[in-house]
Amino acid sequence: MTNMDTSVVFQSVVERMMKSKDIENYKFEIDGGTAKSDGFIGDVIFFNIQHESEKEHLVLKTAKTGETIRKRIDADTAYDREICMYTKVLPALEQFTRRKGLSVIPSFIPKVLFNFKESLVMENLKMRGFHMWNKNKMMGMAHIKLLFENYGVWHGITMAFKDQQPDEFSSCVQGWIDSRFSLNKAFGLTTHFSREFSEVLKLLAEKGRHDLVDVYKKFEGRIDDYVYRRDLPERDMLIISHGDAWCNNFLFKYKDGEKQSQPNQVYFLDFQLSRPESPATEISSVLYNMGDRECFENFQNLLSVYHDKLSETLRSLGSDPDKLFPMDILKRHLGQYAFFSVLHSFIYTRVAQCQLDEAPDLGEMAENGKDLDGAFAFGLKNMELFWERILEVFIHYGEILKQCSNK
């Protein structure tokens, strides 16, 4: 549930929201929140508000209130980014698409009903039959295909916006600091990624995959460059990314109801890590953070699904996909920029596989004076399963690197 400080924030936001509606008589009831393994840098509270004959089912998303953890992970930057996305960037994109006769953003990005400082209030989409995926399971083709289609639309919109209104695009992202960099420093990611990358090379060699060891050699001693995106020139930052592609940041609706095997709609959540980016970084994150083995085996088909939807969106908005981002450039970007996603699979695989008692409580660690360095290099009860998944990721991307080097 919530600590006292978060409860105070919640009550203040509710009071301000209802006052903005000129509603004085209402009752509210808290109906749950996130576990520590679900929200590492923020809190989510589900609640109901009853006024007159109307009952609203809502969700509040707000920043961690502990001052120590906020400073260590630079919560201000992350939450300012999300507020900026909802109050400045998304309205600009929606205005741009509406002028072109296309209105699709509301179909996969939920509307903010009220915001105050670092708090956002949105509709509780679970009441409309949307579900969050079980993070302990990898997603199959149906889910990943739907995500690739929707990212094709999202990337097409932001790419066309940059193509046709470059000044407005620059204005939207002006002064943005990559909110991941403070997290990288706080968690000591370069050190831990480097150590685990060395372990991957060792395991690949033990499996006789010296061909993949050779293609990965170029990254040795340069992990810091990839963690801090020194590898990505501004000319290839073609989109504004969603930024944090993992299962807790999506809500799915299914045409087969409770079976939940045939998703037909998805909403994107959480824009704290949005930034100018290469499209390849984002779609590779989707694959390596959540996709199962079948998705790896059918990646070329998924890539076509993504690129077809991207191209369709660009054309509908008046931009030329063959000029802006043809398939051969997408594949080049994958070879150049997806290593960032591969490295972060060390984190996302842990988060996906951990049980509640294994997940770090960052707020508690910070308040107790513990160093956050290594917080996301925690051990799991089943490390064998962890390394099995990591090797699948590195083998798959290694094959992509081999294809790129042969061209």
58: closest CA among 131, 114, 134, 117? Answer: 114
Q: Which tens digits make up the pLDDT trace of 29-74?
A: 998 766 554 555 678 999 999 998 899 999 999 887 677 778 888 8
**Which pLDDT does position 65 carry in this prediction?**
66
**Which pLDDT does position 39 carry in this prediction?**
53
Q: Which residues pair with 267 in a beta bridge?
A: 251
**Which pLDDT does position 297 carry in this prediction?**
98
The backbone torsions φ and ψ at residue 378, rounded to the nearest 5 degrees and listed phi first, read -70, 155
**Which pLDDT does position 34 carry in this prediction?**
61
Long-range (24+ apart) CB contacts under 8 A made by 320-324 are 321/156, 324/159, 324/163, 324/238
**Which pLDDT does position 38 carry in this prediction?**
54
- Structural domains in the chain plus CATH codes: 67-108+125-405 (3.90.1200)
**Which pLDDT does position 41 carry in this prediction?**
65
Q: Which residues pair with 119 in a beta bridge?
A: 62, 116
**Which pLDDT does position 1 carry in this prediction?**
36
**Which pLDDT does position 4 carry in this prediction?**
45
**Which pLDDT does position 262 carry in this prediction?**
94
d(CA 195, CA 356): 25
**Which pLDDT does position 3 carry in this prediction?**
45
**Which pLDDT does position 128 carry in this prediction?**
94
Nearest 5°: CA angle at 121, between 29 and 131?
80
Tokens of 253: 């609706």
Whether the Cβ atoms of residue 349 and residue 390 lie closer than 8 Å to each other: yes
Mean pLDDT by 10 residues, the chain (407 residues): 68 95 94 61 88 92 79 85 94 96 91 92 95 95 98 98 98 92 91 97 98 97 95 97 95 89 95 96 98 98 98 98 98 97 97 90 81 90 97 98 85
